[in-house]
Amino acid sequence: MAIGEVNMADSYFDGGLLQYIGWKILGFLVTACTFGICYPWALCMVYGWRINHTVVNGRRLKFTGSAVSLFGNWIKWLFLCIITFGIYSFWLGIALEKWKVKNTNFA
């Protein structure tokens, strides 16, 4: 392998199916029991599990986002959707993805 060449075998995901199912069920229960108010917490919990089990080029990723920070953005995004009569919802997925990437680093 030449200098600067990346070995793709160093990138992998080490999470398990049962863990994933457990986190998804817990996230659903938290969201359902709080009538959606804690959805940002559930989202952070499941996304954090996924990122924390990912290794890219031999370096493990770490999710540093918090539910409190996402909740603040969630309120702002909801307000923008309301005042634009739903038009902002087209950008909502992009805004959420930007927030996730901003809070993902190498461990």
Question: Residue ranges of the alpha helices (H) in 34-88?
Answer: 39-52, 67-83
- Going by pLDDT thresholds of 50, 70 and 90, the confidence category of residue 7 is low
Partners of residue 104 on adjacent β-strands: 63
Tell me how far apart the alpha carbons of residues 22 and 49 are, in angstroms, rounded to a whole number. 11
Whether 2 is covered by a domain: the verdict is: no
Number of structural domains in the chain: 1
In this prediction, residue 6 carries a pLDDT of: 58
- The tens digit of pLDDT for each residue in 34-90 reads 999 999 999 999 999 999 999 999 999 999 999 999 999 999 999 999 999 999 999
Whether 7 is covered by a domain: the verdict is: no
- Going by pLDDT thresholds of 50, 70 and 90, the confidence category of residue 8 is low
Whether 6 is covered by a domain: the verdict is: no
In this prediction, residue 106 carries a pLDDT of: 96
Q: What is the distance between the terminal CA atoms of the chain, rounded to a whole angstrom? A: 25
Whether 4 is covered by a domain: the verdict is: no
Neighbours of 48 (CB within 10 A): 20
Q: Which domain holds residue 51?
A: 13-106
Whether 3 is covered by a domain: the verdict is: no
The distance from CA 103 to its chain's CA centroid, rounded to whole angstroms, is 9
